[in-house]
């Protein structure tokens, strides 16, 4: 399968064999992550491999993803990281107040996300399955303590990688007329209605976890309540005190 076919066949995997990912392949995964673009080459991220079974179990509990995180061949947590940069500045007696503002935080989040997607794409090209775990932010203070994270770092998400036992069916994405318009923003409500019919059919007929829902209903359900309200408090706690 060529790279394009690999990418458009992407689907999250939550059922892995218990086969470990070889060390050489893990090193390649990290190299792939490090090889992506980085704003001003700041490389504002850390990639923490979690091996300790007790920590894996704790992360499963925090993220409410029982079973498959510890079952995966390898599990990483991607951390937006400006601590290294702060230490470089402090070593030269430079002011670090600018590190505590929104733009550097956003840069570190983008850097981290690009690195993670680079790893994920390479992993799938090698026949591995992947699943991003945003649930590590459910109890972000506890995850930060578990990983002994210093100030100016934020755990963004986990990435479970392993050899698939079963794979979910591929979900059809939004129509390109909505997702990729030309020259200006465009949104057509009729396109969404047609897309909802497609997704209703997908959710009712897929092999596992069948549901009576649509894409629009999923959006409504997701935004019905505030998500992870402790995040603002955590950012302040981690030293991003200039974010208003």
**Domain of residue 144, CATH code:** 3.40.109.10
| Domain around 57 | 3-169
| Nearest C-alpha neighbor of 129 from the set 224, 6, 240 | 6
Instruction: Mention every residue, 6+ apart, whose C-beta is less than 8 A from residue 243.
Output: 100, 101, 102, 105, 235, 236
Is the whole model's pTM more than 0.75, yes or no? yes
Per-residue model confidence (pLDDT) at position 196: 93
**Does 183 reside within a domain?**
no
Domain count of the chain?
Answer: 1
- Over residues 138-156, the mean pLDDT reads 98
Q: Which residues are paired to 26 by β-bridges?
A: none
In Å, how far from its chain's centre is CA 43?
A: 17
**Does 204 reside within a domain?**
no
Q: How far apart are CA 21 and CA 198, in angstroms?
A: 36
Q: How far apart are CA 87 and CA 93, in angstroms?
A: 10
Q: Which two tokens stand for residue 219?
A: 């959006």
**Does 82 reside within a domain?**
yes
Per-residue model confidence (pLDDT) at position 241: 87
Per-residue model confidence (pLDDT) at position 189: 78
Per-residue model confidence (pLDDT) at position 144: 98
- pLDDT category of residue 187 using cuts at 50, 70 and 90: confident
Q: What is the pLDDT of residues 206-229, one digit of tens each?
A: 877 888 999 999 999 999 998 898
**Does 152 reside within a domain?**
yes
In Å, how far from its chain's centre is CA 90?
A: 30
| Nearest C-alpha neighbor of 73 from the set 116, 128, 120, 112 | 128
Alpha helices in 92-188 (DSSP H): 102-125, 140-147, 176-179
**Does 177 reside within a domain?**
no
| Nearest C-alpha neighbor of 172 from the set 132, 233, 209, 214 | 214
Q: Which residues are paired to 48 by β-bridges?
A: 77
| Nearest C-alpha neighbor of 86 from the set 241, 239, 243 | 239
Residue linked to tokens 């550097």: 104
Q: Does 244 have pLDDT greater than 90?
A: no
Per-residue model confidence (pLDDT) at position 186: 84
- Over residues 62-83, the mean pLDDT reads 94
**Does 116 reside within a domain?**
yes
In Å, how far from its chain's centre is CA 62?
A: 15
Specify whether the CB–CB gap between 45 and 115 falls below 8 A.
yes
Q: Does 63 have pLDDT greater than 80?
A: yes
| Nearest C-alpha neighbor of 168 from the set 47, 25, 13 | 13
Q: Please state, for a pLDDT cut of 70, what percent of the chain lies above it.
A: 100
**Does 39 reside within a domain?**
yes
**Does 96 reside within a domain?**
yes
- Over residues 101-121, the mean pLDDT reads 97
Q: Which of 143-152, 180-189, 234-243 has the highest mean pLDDT?
A: 143-152
């Amino acid at each position: 399968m060529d790279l394009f076919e690999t990418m458009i066949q992407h689907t999250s995997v939550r059922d892995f064999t218990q086969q470990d990912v070889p060390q050489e392949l893990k090193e390649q995964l990290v190299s792939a992550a490090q090889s992506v673009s980085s704003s001003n080459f700041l490389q504002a991220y850390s990639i923490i491999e979690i091996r300790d079974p007790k920590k894996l179990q704790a992360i499963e509990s925090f993220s409410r993803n029982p079973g498959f995180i510890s079952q995966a061949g390898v599990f990483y947590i991607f951390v937006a990281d400006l601590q290294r940069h702060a230490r470089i500045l402090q070593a030269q007696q430079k002011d670090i107040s600018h590190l505590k503002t929104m733009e550097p935080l956003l840069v570190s989040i983008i850097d981290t996300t690009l690195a993670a997607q680079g790893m994920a794409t390479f992993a799938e090209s090698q026949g591995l399955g992947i699943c991003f775990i945003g649930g590590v932010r459910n109890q972000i203070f506890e995850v930060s303590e578990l990983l002994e994270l210093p100030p100016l770092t934020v755990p963004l998400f986990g990435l479970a990688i392993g050899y698939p036992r079963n794979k979910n069916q591929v979900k059809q994405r939004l129509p390109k007329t909505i997702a990729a318009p030309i020259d200006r923003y465009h949104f057509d409500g009729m396109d969404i209605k047609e897309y909802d019919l497609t997704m209703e059919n997908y959710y009712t007929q897929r092999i596992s976890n069948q549901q009576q829902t649509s894409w629009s209903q999923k959006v409504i359900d997701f935004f019905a309540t505030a998500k992870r309200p402790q995040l603002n408090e955590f950012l302040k706690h981690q030293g991003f005190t200039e974010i208003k």
